[in-house]
Amino acid sequence: MPLPKKISITTELNAKDRVYQQLREWIITGTLAPREKISDQAIAVLFGVSRTPVREALQLLATQEFVEMIPRSATRVTAVATDQISTIYRPLAALQSLAAELAAAKITPAEIEQLTDLNHQYEQAQIQNQPQAVLTADNAFHNLILQIAANPYVSEFSQLVNAHAQRIENFYLDQLNVEQPVAVREHEKIIAAIAADDTIAAREQMEQNWLHSLYMVQGCVTANQQK
């Protein structure tokens, strides 16, 4: 799969961060396919930068297991971690559960309304059968809870693990059953628990929501293995 011909250039980030963020997004969404070789020279030309920030960005992506750098050979996108579903989703469920607990202690009425609006968008995307919009709305919902929780360590680790989960879900996007009214209800229960400052319920409801995603993705993996 070739690199896009054009990209949007922002001056808000340094060269390494611009390359890193864009490459990571392309890997998560599948624009850069699993096991696809990456040319640091081609990327440097595309971004209008030297090869140094490109290599730095690739090294960071390698530490996060999005790419593998083979000495004196090639750099390529890693395979989608379909054999590590539980390894990814269970820690993510724990981190997101902690975020929900922390958010319950500090959420504002305006933020409760924001979460409710995002869950409505999530539900509408399901009704309209827009898989990518479903994933986007779901991610926005959970990211807002991380933002409200305001713990940089929980946020950083959760977003890293979630990036791998998003990659898996994008990989199986055509096979996922995006009509998940039970997930909408789970979001409602999360919002209610956080709004009531019920930290125990917030944690439990969030964990259940992520384990629901775990089982759904595992079902896709199993179905593919049986073909």
What CATH number does domain 85-225 carry, 3.40.1010.10, 1.20.120.530, 3.40.309.10, 1.10.3720.10? 1.20.120.530
**Structure letter (DSSP) for residue 4:** P
Pairing mode, strands 74-77 and 67-70: antiparallel
Whole-structure pTM value:
0.89
Comma-separated ranges of CATH 1.10.10.10 domains in the chain: 15-77
Burial of 196 (0-12, 13-18, 19+ CB in 10 A): exposed
Angle at 202 between CA 198 and CA 204, to 5 degrees: 120
Is residue 214 within 8 Å of residue 166, measured between CB atoms?
no
Comma-separated ranges of CATH 1.20.120.530 domains in the chain: 85-225
Could you report how far apart the first and last alpha carbons of the chain are, in Å?
25
**Domain 15-77: CATH class, spelled out:** mainly alpha
Report how far residue 94's alpha carbon sits from residue 158's, in angstroms, rounded to the nearest whole number: 9
Note down pLDDT in tens along the chain; length 227 residues. 466 655 555 555 689 999 999 999 999 999 999 999 999 999 999 999 999 999 999 999 999 999 999 887 889 999 998 889 999 999 999 999 999 999 999 999 999 999 999 999 999 999 999 999 999 999 999 999 999 999 999 999 999 999 999 999 999 988 888 788 999 999 999 999 999 999 999 999 999 999 999 999 998 888 877 76
Place of tokens 């919002």: 191
